[in-house]
Amino acid sequence: MQSFNKDARKPRSNNFDVINKNFIRSFVQRGQNGALEHLCKNKLPVCIYLSTGVMFDCVITSFDQYTINLVDTKNVSQMIYKDKVTTIQLKRGNTPRPNNESN
């Protein structure tokens, strides 16, 4: 009779899955600001979609009550208004870094 480990059937979670779970947990426990704090602190790459149809591949650097500051993949800093954001999606891949930040 062949035996097997029950855990062997479970797919291994990769780093992205862990990051995604932590992001969701931050959002559920602390709301919008908790999720944005998590993204800022961990410098996670995201895609931000605006109601105008514009998409940013970026890292969120800071935020306040009304705005989000970000650095895009071309190291350009921009500020967007929160009320124009429709979706923030975690990205897989390398994190774009601001010019003044070293690896």
Q: Is 49 left (phi over 0), alpha (psi -120 to 50) or beta?
A: beta
**Domains defined for the chain, CATH in brackets:** 15-90 (2.30.30.100)
What is the three-state SS of 23-80?
A: HHHHHHHHHHHHHHHHHHHHCCEEEEEECCCCEEEEEEEEECCCEEEEEECCCCEEEE
* pLDDT tens digit sequence for 22-61: 777 776 776 788 889 989 998 999 999 999 999 999 999 9
Contact assessment for residue 95 and residue 45, using Cβ atoms and an 8 Å cutoff:
yes
Question: Residue 99's pLDDT band (boundaries 50, 70, 90)?
Answer: very low
Q: Is the pLDDT of residue 102 over 90?
A: no
Q: What is the pTM of this model?
A: 0.68
